Structure 1
Amino acid sequence: MSRTSTYSLPGNEKSSRCNKILIDGLTDAEKEEILKYHNEIRQKVAAGEETRGDPGPQPAAREIPPLTWDDELANIAQKWANQCTVNHDSCRNVERFWVGQNTAYRGTSEDISIYSITDMIDLWYSEVKLFDSSEVDKFTFSRPATAHYSQMVWADTKIVGCGAVRNYSSGLNRFYLICNYGPAGNVLGEPVYISI
């Protein structure tokens, strides 16, 4: 895939997999919550306060800068969320850089509001318990089950944009959250962040 390939799904069409849409998109408050929670996690890890890992703890960082919101990445993420799938989008890069992506899904027979934005992000953050702290200095992708976490704290990633769909399908209320990150993290041989 070339660096300049871009998302090509027409408009904001929703997949038939979505069935009945309950809530489409994110409110401004949810966007702020996503940004705030990502940055709290990045700050915690940078400060050396993350004790989990396999092995842990995670080392402190010279710097993991805060993320800022990006509407282009959010629009692409929303188009992918509208497909109601947990698979990763293979065509999400923008002219500026390659784009990383995290996807989260929850389904319940209860009201979908039992799952918050932070609950969804915690699915990614909880992967830190499996993350080998020795990979901070040189990412090897030895444990794919930790790639959502490493993307969240990747120091060279500067922006994030997300989309969401809450829908009803096959007897379940479902919540899909997609976040796109730029520039992409999880680059083999590169540091997740510079440890101190």
Structure 2
Amino acid sequence: MFTLHLFSIFTLLITALLHPTRAINTSHHTRHARRHAGHASMDATAVRRSPAHIAAYLEGHNVVRAAHGVKPLQWSPYFANLAEQWADACNFKHTDGVLSDKPYGENIVAATGPFSVHAAMGTFIEDAADFNPHHPHFTHYTQVLWESTTELGCASSVCKDLLGPSTGPATLYVCLYDPPGNVVGGMRQNLPSVFHHS
């Protein structure tokens, strides 16, 4: 069993208003992230970059995109490297665009206990149940489906006390998207299948 923490919709909407070109979904109520005692080992990095892990990240997005007639995402080593930097620092908060001069979208999730790539990507898709086309708002799900996004780079890290001192280690997943999704004013153009099916 795992404990899952996602950013509130309120935090997401505030971020969208403050950073309209980088409207980001992420995952935690507090503004304070605890830092990992140390960085991931080289072996851990090799495992996280394995073809199987990359395929799992892409599949977690592209199966849903295909179901909506949206072109598949391609893997971005550049954004995977940036995601890895953020995950390894155990920053459980928005990057606010500090990783690159190039704008990007973002989804972040963390959980304690066993938490696979498939499970993490599944949390992004679960947000579909919260999408109401009559009162649309940005979610992890809308970033996954955003049509103008073409590339994805993700990474994970196990972080000590990330969710609090009594929770134990948690796995933090960071996915970055290029071009960014969840851009204010672009919802109907980039999510036509979501509006059409409603």
Q: CA distance change for structure 1 residues 91 and 157 in 2, over 3 Å: closer, same or farther?
A: same
Instruction: Provide the residue aligned with 1:17 in structure 2.
Output: 35
Whole-angstrom CA distance in 2 between matches of 1:21 and 1:93: 18
Write out the 4+ residue segments of structure 1 that deviate beyond 4 Å after TM superposition: 20-24, 92-95
- Aligned residues: percent identity? 23
C-alpha contact 1:100 1:181 (8 A) present in aligned 2: yes
Instruction: Provide the residue aligned with 1:49 in structure 2.
Output: none
Bigger share in helix: 2
How many angstroms does 1:98 deviate by? 1.7
Instruction: Provide the residue aligned with 2:142 in structure 1.
Output: 150
Instruction: Please give the residue correspondences for 1:114-193 in structure 2 after superposition, counting only pairs within 5 Å.
Output: 114-134=114-134, 142-143=136-137, 146-169=138-161, 170-171=165-166, 172-190=168-186, 191-193=189-191
C-alpha contact 1:126 1:149 (8 A) present in aligned 2: yes
Instruction: Provide the residue aligned with 2:49 in structure 1.
Output: 27
Query: Counterpart of 2:139 in 1: which secondary structure?
Result: helix
Larger Rg: 1
Q: CA distance change for structure 1 residues 132 and 174 in 2, over 3 Å: closer, same or farther?
A: same
Over aligned residue pairs, what C-alpha RMSD do you find? 2.5
Alignment of 1:74 with 2:74, yes or no, is no
Letter in 1 for 2:152: V
Letter in 2 for 1:36: E
Task: Report the TM-score when normalising by structure 1.
Answer: 0.68
Structure 2 residues without counterparts, runs of 5 or longer: 1-18, 22-32
How many angstroms does 1:85 deviate by? 2.6
How many angstroms does 1:90 deviate by? 1.3
C-alpha contact 2:60 2:122 (8 A) present in aligned 1: no
Whole-angstrom CA distance in 2 between matches of 1:17 and 1:77: 16
C-alpha contact 1:70 1:161 (8 A) present in aligned 2: yes
C-alpha contact 1:22 1:168 (8 A) present in aligned 2: no
- Deviations 1:21-61 (CA, angstroms, capped at 9, x unpaired): 67744131111110122100111233xxxxxxxxxxxxxxx
C-alpha contact 1:124 1:149 (8 A) present in aligned 2: yes
Structure 1 residues without counterparts, runs of 5 or longer: 4-14, 47-63, 109-113, 136-141
Instruction: Provide the residue aligned with 2:94 in structure 1.
Output: 88
C-alpha contact 2:39 2:89 (8 A) present in aligned 1: no
Query: Counterpart of 1:176 in 2: which secondary structure?
Result: strand
Task: Report the TM-score when normalising by structure 2.
Answer: 0.68
Whole-angstrom CA distance in 1 between matches of 2:68 and 2:174: 22
